[in-house]
């Protein structure tokens, strides 16, 4: 009897037998079969490349990852990576104004620190551009596509390159005539030119209303036409627009009265924003706006109290950035602080500037920049030359804001002191790193263009359903 009791107790102590395999799989199927729950799990991935690999599991996963609403949420949590930037170097002088611009003799792709899965992408971009023709100038990048002007700054041809995709290069686009008809230009009023070129697929941002039809790359050139000093606060804006199916169209504004005198800066920042496709060009203290929908021009003033600066009329302390399709950011270096201003361009609070970020640069840079430079910037106000609402810097010191800022002003490239190294400042994370040391062979930095990973990710097609 005792032996039987022991056997019974032993049987009771044993764990229950596992359920059949199909029953154990039910909870897993319940999780991954629920599309809403599956998307919440996919949101935990920390890189678009991992999202692409997850999409290859099955058609259900593939469809969940490609859903536009899901991609908007994923982008907000994990934005496209800044893979690197193009740096153009040349020889020549930028001063005086009548002197020719520097001759660009090399464009180099500089990769930035990135996760290992992006090593291949960095190699592809470097192999495409490093060692290219000296006369090929990168004038803009967006969504993995690079706009190249052939023949240097004054070249008359463009092409589009897609280094991360095995597709043919974009067709070469003829540039319009250098100057508009004389009967469209008012005698004695300076004018600025900007070229807006079709860039298929370069938008790719679900926040853009019509990103696939026209994208915002071009240049602006200030040209005096027998300049009349009495017309010092007037300008005419010339906009060349090339559509996908139509040729070049020329739009010339009437003389626009500006809140500040015209300063002959060769290449102010220009960008397109929103479904109305507003083209904005800084003119050292204000913004000239061209509405492509209505083909009308207007002028937007800078925030009250913002006084912008320049060095040799070429190096600026401010630039613009897109804020999705709703507005713009003005990034402005004032002394030892970096200010970020936001302005809506649609309804509601349109017309009101709001300062949304203030970055104290000496604390952020630490030992990267000598403290004596910051001390000089603090005390230099007495040495600035006030030229009616803008300042001409001391030629050796100042914070230069390069004309390349991430969407939503997420990052900005800066140079502290003339011919100093280039720094990358992450505005949101408050982190800074030196990314480029200037050349010691007499060549000067002529421009920077950032290369972001494309968005949305390109999902491979699945051969079978599952």
Strand pairing class (308-311; 390-392): parallel
How many other CB atoms are there within 10 angstroms of residue 244's CB atom? 10
Query: Beta strand 234-242 with 431-436: parallel, antiparallel or unpaired?
Result: unpaired
Contact (CB, 8 A) for 127 and 119: no
Has residue 306 got a pLDDT over 50? yes
Q: Which residues pair with 86 in a beta bridge?
A: 109, 449
For residue 7, report the phi and psi dihedrals to the nearest 5 degrees.
-65, -40
pLDDT digits (tens, 9 = 90+) for 109-144: 999 998 888 999 999 999 888 876 666 788 778 888
Comparing CA positions, the residue from 65, 357, 383, 403 lying closest to residue 265 is 403
At 53, list the tokens. 């690999």
- The top-scoring range by mean pLDDT among 199-213, 396-410, 436-450 is 396-410
Query: What is the model's pLDDT at position 214?
Result: 44
Q: Would you list the DSSP string of 259-316?
A: SS-----SS--EEEETTTTEEEEE-SSEEEEEETTTTEEEEEEPPTT--EEEETTTEE
Is a pLDDT exceeding 50 seen at residue 218? Answer: no
Location of structure tokens 């800074």: 432
Cβ–Cβ under 8 Å, residues 329 and 409? yes
Does position 23 have pLDDT exceeding 60, yes or no?
no
pLDDT at 418: 73
Question: What integer pLDDT is reported at residue 244 of this predicted model?
Answer: 62
pLDDT digits (tens, 9 = 90+) for 135-190: 678 877 888 888 888 876 667 777 888 888 866 556 666 666 667 777 888 887 87
Residue 175, pLDDT score:
66
Q: Which phi and psi angles does 408 have, rounded to 5°?
A: 65, 20
> pLDDT tens digits, residue range 366-422?
888 888 888 877 776 545 544 444 444 454 667 888 878 888 889 999 988 777 889
d(CA 242, CA 182) in angstroms, rounded, equals 21
Q: How many residues does the chain have?
A: 466
Angle between helices 48-55 and 59-66 (to 10 degrees): 140
Which of 288-292, 328-332, 346-350 shows the lowest per-residue confidence on average (mean pLDDT)? 346-350
The pTM of the whole model exceeds 0.75: yes
In this structure, what token pair is assigned to residue 401?
């804001």
């Amino acid at each position: 009897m005792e032996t039987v009791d022991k056997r019974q107790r032993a049987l009771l102590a044993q764990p229950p037998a596992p359920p059949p395999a199909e029953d154990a799989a039910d909870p897993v199927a319940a999780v991954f079969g629920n599309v809403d729950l599956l998307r919440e799990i996919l949101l935990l991935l920390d890189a678009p490349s991992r999202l692409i690999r997850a999409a290859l599991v099955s058609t259900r996963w593939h469809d969940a990852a490609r859903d536009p609403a899901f991609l908007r949420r994923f982008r907000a949590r994990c934005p496209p990576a800044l893979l690197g930037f193009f740096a153009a170097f040349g020889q020549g002088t930028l001063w005086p104004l009548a002197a020719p611009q520097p001759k660009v003799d090399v464009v180099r792709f500089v990769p930035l620190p990135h996760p290992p899965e992006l090593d291949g992408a960095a190699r592809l971009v470097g192999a495409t551009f490093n060692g290219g023709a000296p006369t090929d100038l990168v004038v803009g990048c967006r969504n993995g596509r690079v706009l190249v002007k052939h023949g240097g700054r004054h070249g008359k041809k463009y092409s589009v390159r897609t280094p991360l995709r095995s597709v043919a290069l974009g067709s070469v686009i003829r540039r319009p005539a250098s100057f508009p008809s004389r009967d469209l230009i008012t005698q004695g009023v300076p004018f600025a030119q900007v070229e807006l070129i079709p860039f298929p697929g370069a938008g790719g941002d679900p926040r853009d209303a019509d990103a696939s039809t026209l994208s915002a790359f071009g240049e602006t050139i200030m040209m005096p036409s027998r300049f009349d000093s009495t017309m010092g606060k007037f300008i005419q804006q010339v906009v060349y627009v090339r559509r996908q199916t139509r040729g070049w169209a020329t739009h010339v504004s009437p003389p626009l009265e500006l809140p500040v005198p015209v300063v002959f800066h060769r290449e102010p920042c220009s960008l397109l924003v929103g479904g109305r496709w507003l083209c904005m060009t800084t003119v050292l203290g204000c913004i000239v706006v061209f509405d492509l929908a209505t083909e009308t021009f207007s002028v937007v003033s800078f925030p009250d109290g913002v006084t912008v600066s320049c060095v040799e009329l070429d190096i600026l302390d401010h630039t613009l950035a897109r804020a999705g399709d709703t507005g713009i950011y003005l990034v402005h270096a004032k002394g030892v602080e970096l200010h970020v201003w936001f302005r809506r361009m649609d309804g509601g609070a349109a017309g009101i500037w709001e300062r949304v970020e203030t970055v104290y640069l000496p604390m952020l840079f630490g030992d990267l920049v000598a403290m004596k430079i910051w001390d000089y910037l603090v005390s230099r106000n007495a040495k600035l030359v006030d030229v009616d609402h803008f300042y001409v810097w001391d030629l050796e010191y100042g914070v230069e804001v390069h004309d390349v800022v991430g969407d939503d002003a997420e990052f900005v490239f800066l140079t502290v002191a003339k011919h100093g190294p280039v720094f990358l400042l992450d505005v949101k994370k408050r982190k800074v790193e030196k990314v480029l040391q200037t050349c010691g062979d007499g060549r000067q930095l002529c421009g920077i263009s950032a290369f972001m990973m494309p968005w949305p990710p390109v999902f491979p097609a699945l051969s079978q359903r599952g």
